[in-house]
Amino acid sequence: MQFLDIKEPGFDAKFAALVQRSEESGREVEEVVQGIINQVRSRGDEALVEFTRKFDRVECDAAGLEVTQAEFEQAFAAVDARDLAALRHAVQRVERFHEKQKQQSWLSTEESDIMLGQKVTPLARVGIYVPGGKASYPSSVIMNAVPAKVAGVKEIIMVAPAPGGETNPHVLVAAKLAGVDRVFKIGGAQAVAALAYGTQTIPRVDKITGPGNIYVATAKKLVFGQTGIDMIAGPSEILVINDGSGNPMHIAADLLSQAEHDELASAVLITTDRNFGQRVAIEVERQLHELPRQAIARKSWESFGVIIVSDTMEEAISFSNRIAPEHLELAVENPFEILPLITNAGAIFMGHYTPEAAGDYLAGPNHTLPTGGTARFFSPLSVDDFVKKSSILYFTKGGLERVGADIVRIAGLEGLDAHARSVSFRLDK
């Protein structure tokens, strides 16, 4: 962990170097992934089954890839009633939040001779990628499937690798609760390729969302355009802005909740109170010892943990807007005073009782957020990601007569006569 002063000469460059993490997948990964995609695209199920045998050590034919009704029932039987209730609670709250994002089709009638509008249509079929194995996250299933369901997507296909044949029961239960229609036990670049192009068994989807390792992320990037994808996620990060108020123990816990995700995760505190910063540093050290995932959290904190002291809240806010954090905690006395000044952040956690973990699971907003500074231009995953729009244009003859001369004029400027003629033919006589 580095303790920096925002007034230090070259602070911006120093900070940037500090939190600089992996860029892009290399060309090598890209070539391997492109090879897998080409195989699945040309040979379909045959290639998909081969790769699944090879990478996941699962011996089955294409028909055996789909999770059966019996497997779902076993999963429900295996899950503790209290856990089931918690997952239901999460689905319900996430649903309620995303309902508010729904947009309606509209048609303007303010002109009597021209009507214009926008038709909102759910994507027909989407694919959700869920990482498999032991570290399976039912919350990922919920955060991807619920917005799709709320958007009105007719068929939600989930893929999750089942290394050695095992699927996490919480993930299966979450899939059912969140409205997933079919689940296939496939993963990696081969699963992304199957969703993008379709095979005999796996239906082609219109968009693929959900997190994955570098092979999955690269595959999504390579099929983009053939199918829609959500943003390409990098390592996760948190920035906490503090004014000296609140409890260092809480802030330390929040920083560590980020650090325990991944050795590449980054946790940063900027405070106007040097003493508060020092107490947080001490608390982090103390709490690290108590964590089961201490090794990961320590690596992350040592490599990418930073505590910064700034003179003023303005400096802290301007710093935050420059780095555009994925998670931003406003751990200050009056968070709503600051809210309008925040221009770049994936999610904003207000005040002393809104830890990031609340947003990760069940507050309601999506936990799929733009990372690595991309909150400058990307938004959280939302219902918007599962609909597309079509413009609607309707001219009467009178409407075309009213504005037609200017259409012809601009077509003329652009040297596109056939454009002009398609209008003028309709206006003659």
Closer by beta carbon to its own copies, 98 or else 185 = 98
Q: HSE of 283 in the Cβ direction (CA atoms, 13 Å)?
A: 18
Q: Where are the beta strands (DSSP E) in 168-273?
A: 182-184, 207-209, 228-229, 237-242, 266-271
**What is the pattern of x (binds its own copies, CB under 8 A) and - over residues 44-73?**
------------------------------
Tell me: is residue 92 an annotated ligand-binding position: no
Can residue 262 be called a binding residue for its own copies (CB under 8 A)?
no
Question: Among 29, 32, 232, 264, which residue sits at the site for its own copies (rule: CB under 8 A)?
Answer: 232
Backbone angles phi, psi at 153, to 5 degrees: -60, 130
Question: Among 90, 145, 306, 316, which residue sits at the site for its own copies (rule: CB under 8 A)?
Answer: 90
CA 329 to chain centre: 19
Tell me which residues in 144-183 interact with its own copies (CB under 8 A).
170
Can residue 214 be called a binding residue for its own copies (CB under 8 A)?
no
Tell me which residues in 338-367 interact with its own copies (CB under 8 A).
339, 342-366
Can residue 264 be called a binding residue for its own copies (CB under 8 A)?
no
User: Could you tell me which residues come within 8 angstroms of residue 369 by beta carbon, excluding any fewer than 6 positions away?
Assistant: 326, 327, 346, 347, 375, 380, 381
Q: Tell me how far, at minimum, the Cβ of 371 lies from its own copies, in Å.
A: 10
Annotated active-site residue 250? The verdict is no
Cα 49 from Cα 65, distance rounded (Å) = 8
Please state whether beta strands 327-331 and 347-350 pair in parallel, antiparallel, or not at all (unpaired).
Answer: parallel
Residue 413 three-state SS: helix
Binding part of the chain for its own copies, among 7-15, 176-184, 270-278, 414-422 by CB under 8 A, reads 414-422
Q: Tell me how far, at minimum, the Cβ of 353 lies from its own copies, in Å.
A: 5
Tell me: is residue 327 an annotated ligand-binding position: yes
Cα 194 from Cα 39, distance rounded (Å) = 10
Tell me: is residue 414 an annotated ligand-binding position: yes
241, with CB counted inside 10 A (0-12, 13-18, 19+), is: buried
| Tokens encoding 164 | 């050695």
Q: Which residue type occupies 388?
A: K
Instruction: Give the total of residues touching its own copies (CB under 8 A).
Output: 123
> Tokens 């002291």 identify what position?
309
Closer by beta carbon to its own copies, 60 or else 232 = 232
Residue 67 three-state SS: coil
User: Could you tell me which residues come within 8 angstroms of residue 183 by beta carbon, excluding any fewer than 6 positions away?
Assistant: 66, 67, 157, 158, 159, 160, 172, 175
Question: Among 123, 172, 175, 194, which residue sits at the site for its own copies (rule: CB under 8 A)?
Answer: 123
- Quote the DSSP letter at residue 68: P
Annotated active-site residue 302? The verdict is no
Binding part of the chain for its own copies, among 49-57, 68-76, 256-264, 305-313 by CB under 8 A, reads 256-264
Tell me: is residue 366 an annotated ligand-binding position: no
Closer by beta carbon to its own copies, 64 or else 133 = 133
Can residue 292 be called a binding residue for its own copies (CB under 8 A)?
yes
Torsion angle in degrees (nearest 10) through CA of 32, 34, 39, 40: 110
The length of the chain is 429
Binding part of the chain for its own copies, among 69-77, 270-278, 302-310, 419-427 by CB under 8 A, reads 419-427
Tell me which residues in 10-49 interact with its own copies (CB under 8 A).
24
Q: Tell me how far, at minimum, the Cβ of 315 lies from its own copies, in Å.
A: 18
Tell me: is residue 247 an annotated ligand-binding position: no
Closer by beta carbon to its own copies, 58 or else 177 = 177
**What is the pattern of x (binds its own copies, CB under 8 A) and - over residues 373-412?**
-xxxxxxx-x-x---xxxxxxxxxx-xx--xxxxx-xxx-
Can residue 108 be called a binding residue for its own copies (CB under 8 A)?
yes
Cα 193 from Cα 413, distance rounded (Å) = 45
In Å, what is the CA distance from 29 to each residue of 26, 47, 48, 216?
A: 6, 19, 19, 10
Annotated binding site for NAD(+): 129, 190, 213
* Residues tagged active-site: 326-327
Annotated binding site for Zn(2+): 258, 261, 360, 419
